[in-house]
Amino acid sequence: MIDIGGKIKGLRLKLGLTQEELADRTELSKGFISQLERNLTSPSIATLTDILEALGTDLASFFSEAAPAKVVFAAEDMFVKEEPERAFSIEWLVPNAQKNQLEPILVTLAQGGETWPQDPHEGEEFGYVLSGSIYLFLGEKKLRVRRGESFCFQPTDLHYIKNAGKSEAKVIWVATPPSF
């Protein structure tokens, strides 16, 4: 069951309105707004429509039961893609990150492993080497990045990473906008 009064109060407070201001905008009494917010009375559909219009929303939006956005992701939520021919894997740390402004992944590179080259694009990229050592290729540049070091760049050139050592390398890599 939807807490109509609580939702109305939440919308009112979010807009910084007093009960009296909402009452003035809807030509209702402050007492009615107070009783409504405490679920002591129920509005007619016409009155509810007027209140919601004053609060910048409508009936459909007010009654939609949108699922809350997921904040914490467990291992079973994550997706891994293996690339055996290039000796690396990508683990998407936030599933469906395409809807977000950034996309964090965990790249694991076996000895000699390297990611596919990525074409230049808008945005920024950031990485942190958790273990091992890598080469970061940015156009004609070849930069070594060791465990505990990070990199950050605007991807205006072809770019990729390659394991620079004999042991496995792990890199947290974040791209904005999502590009992996």
Confidence of residue 66 (pLDDT cuts 50, 70, 90): low
DSSP string, 21-70: HHHHHHT--HHHHHHHHTTSS---HHHHHHHHHHTT--HHHHH--PPPPP
How far is C-alpha 171 from the geometric centre of its chain's CA atoms? 20
Confidence of residue 5 (pLDDT cuts 50, 70, 90): very high
pTM of the full predicted structure? Answer: 0.64
Q: What is the largest CA-CA distance in the chain?
A: 75
- Which residue type sits at 74? A
- 123, two tokens: 């945005």
Looking at the domain covering 4-63, what would its CATH class be? mainly alpha
- Mean pLDDT confidence for 82-104: 86
Confidence of residue 67 (pLDDT cuts 50, 70, 90): low
* For the chain, domain boundaries: 4-63, 75-176
Under CATH, domain 75-176 is a member of which superfamily? Jelly Rolls (2.60.120.10)
- Which residue type sits at 75? A
- Which residue type sits at 113? G
The DSSP symbol for 100 reads S
Instruction: Look at residue 74 and give its three-state secondary structure.
Output: coil
* For residue 98, pLDDT beyond 60: no
Comparing 180 with 65, which gets the higher pLDDT?
A: 65
